[in-house]
Amino acid sequence: MSRLGTRWLARRDTRAAAPLSRPFWLVWTASAVSFLGDGLVAGALPLLAASLTRDARVVSLTEAATQAGWLLLGLVSGVLVDRWSRITMMWRSDVVRALIAAAFAALVLTGHANVPLVVGVAFGLGLVAPFFDNASSSVVPQLVPKGSLERANALNQTAILLGANLIGPPVGAALFVVMPGLPLGLNAVSFAVAAGLVWWVRTSVPAPVPPQRRRVSSELLEGLAFLWRNRLLRALCLLLGVMNGVSSGIVAVLVLYVLELLRLPEAAYGWLIAAFAVGGLVGAALTPAVIALLGRRWAMIGSAVALGSSILGLGAFPVPAAAAGFVVVAGLASVLWNIVTVSIRQRLVPAELLGRVTSIYRVVGFVATPFGAVAAGLLAHEAGLRAPYLVGGAITLVANALAVPSIRAAGTAS
């Protein structure tokens, strides 16, 4: 990696970002609408499952089904995102999701819902999600100049936090109480609207030059080889796996942390989740200023240190006021880290490889998630509820320390 190619990593940006294009804003709006639809389903689907059965194993299966798509098709989606037009993949994915959601809403409204149907629909939507998510991330460098990548990714993170985490789930749950099929029908509408918006700009976004068609495994190995040879990307990918595993672990036992350590009512769990999202929104808003002040390299390192320290703080100081503050900091740090590292990946990876490298990144994160959740549960059982936070925070800080040489070298390599 040359000094010229990585000088931007340590640079403090003082120039005003170029205005974002009309195609970007239309694609962003489409993504935001899709994320809102995801949030509506996230709030309604567990309630629908619980209305059909009180078997916790079955109810939890609906959540597992929505995540299965990344494990089964995440890597394949990366190959296809590099082969095909990313804009085309986005609108076609949303058309498929709209059809699935519309059929599902009709069955629920007519009283034909059952457990196999709920699990099957969750699984179907989960299979399509990697194609849309990979395409929406990989298309960003085609829509904005490199100097505006952080701003564009901050807007994408804001859309995810608002639609999929902060607004969608509670609205979906509330609408389900009014009419069980209503949030599902609105979900279908959201996907249809998003597909129409992206279709509208399909001719405004040139497709990247597709790679020479080979076996899927060969194309995947090409993406993996590029990722592994790049010291910075390799370190960030491994650090992502650690951070995702730790984060899933602390979330897995968070409800018990709230009830047994903080001794708060059940509703406080939802407030802490909202506090994380609010912290994330602050992080997205502050990202340009942080990069201008510290540079990308130290923004990365500082956000990972802040995340590890906040997780450690949750274990060390289990009192309500402190816990709320630590959760806000964790949300801010997580989103800041995501924006900076995604933008770095979009800068470093050639357009024709970006879908595959992105898919490998995401799959590493998804694979780490169940292991982190199980490990946290076992640790809490053996050593108490503070242990997952103390150990998880320490692991995050150590992993970040191990990644620092690679991050620093990327800005100084000759």
- DSSP character string of 324-340: HHHHHHHHHHHHHHHHH
333-354: average pLDDT? 93
Residue 13 pLDDT grade (very low, low, confident, very high; cuts 50, 70, 90): low
Q: Is residue 54 over pLDDT 50?
A: yes
Least confident range of 128-142, 173-187, 266-280? 266-280
Pinpoint the alpha helices (H) of 349-386.
Answer: 354-383
**What is d(CA 63, CA 325) in angstroms, rounded to the nearest whole number?**
28
44-55: average pLDDT? 80
Task: Write down the mean pLDDT value for the chain.
Answer: 87
Q: Is residue 5 over pLDDT 60?
A: no
Contact yes or no for 185/102 (Cβ under 8 A) = yes
Name the token pair of 278. Answer: 């609010």
- Between the CA atoms of 387, 390, 393 and 399, what dihedral angle is there, to the nearest 10 degrees? -80
Residue 83 pLDDT grade (very low, low, confident, very high; cuts 50, 70, 90): confident
Run of H or E residues at 173: helix 168-178
Q: What is residue 84's three-state secondary structure?
A: coil
Q: What is the pTM of this model?
A: 0.84
Can you say how many angstroms the Cα of residue 339 is from the centroid of all Cα atoms in its chain? 11
Domains annotated for the chain, with CATH where assigned, are: 15-205 (1.20.1250.20), 217-412 (1.20.1250.20)
**What is d(CA 375, CA 369) in angstroms, rounded to the nearest whole number?**
10
Residue written as tokens 């970006």? Answer: 354
Residue 291 pLDDT grade (very low, low, confident, very high; cuts 50, 70, 90): very high
pLDDT digits (tens, 9 = 90+) for 226-268: 999 999 999 999 999 999 999 988 887 887 888 889 998 877 8
Residues 6+ apart with CB under 8 A from 73: 127, 130, 131
Q: Is residue 352 over pLDDT 70?
A: yes
Q: Which one is predicted more confidently, 376 or 53?
A: 376
Q: In the prediction, which pLDDT does 3 show?
A: 45
Closest CA to 287 of 300, 304, 277: 300
Contact yes or no for 198/91 (Cβ under 8 A) = yes
Q: Read off φ and ψ for residue 211, nearest 5 degrees.
A: -70, 160
Q: Is residue 399 over pLDDT 80?
A: yes
**What is d(CA 341, CA 156) in angstroms, rounded to the nearest whole number?**
14
Residue written as tokens 């090409």? Answer: 222
Q: Calculate what percentage of the chain has a pLDDT beyond 70.
A: 91
Neighbours of 35 (CB within 10 A): 25
Q: Is residue 136 over pLDDT 50?
A: yes
Q: In the prediction, which pLDDT does 264 show?
A: 85
Q: In the prediction, which pLDDT does 48 show?
A: 86
Closest CA to 368 of 395, 346, 339: 395
Contact yes or no for 87/203 (Cβ under 8 A) = no
Residue 182 pLDDT grade (very low, low, confident, very high; cuts 50, 70, 90): very high
pLDDT digits (tens, 9 = 90+) for 195-238: 999 999 887 776 666 656 678 888 899 999 999 999 999 999 99
**What is d(CA 96, CA 330) in angstroms, rounded to the nearest whole number?**
35
**What is d(CA 54, CA 105) in angstroms, rounded to the nearest whole number?**
22
- Give the CA radius of gyration of the chain: 21
Widest CA span of the chain, in angstroms?
66
Q: Is residue 16 over pLDDT 80?
A: no
Q: Is residue 412 over pLDDT 50?
A: no
Amino acid letter, 382? E
Residue 414 pLDDT grade (very low, low, confident, very high; cuts 50, 70, 90): very low
39-67: average pLDDT? 77
pLDDT digits (tens, 9 = 90+) for 108-128: 999 898 989 988 998 999 899
Residues 6+ apart with CB under 8 A from 16: none
14-27: average pLDDT? 76
Contact yes or no for 256/388 (Cβ under 8 A) = no
Q: In the prediction, which pLDDT does 413 show?
A: 35
List the helix and strand counts (H, then E) for the chain. Answer: 17, 0
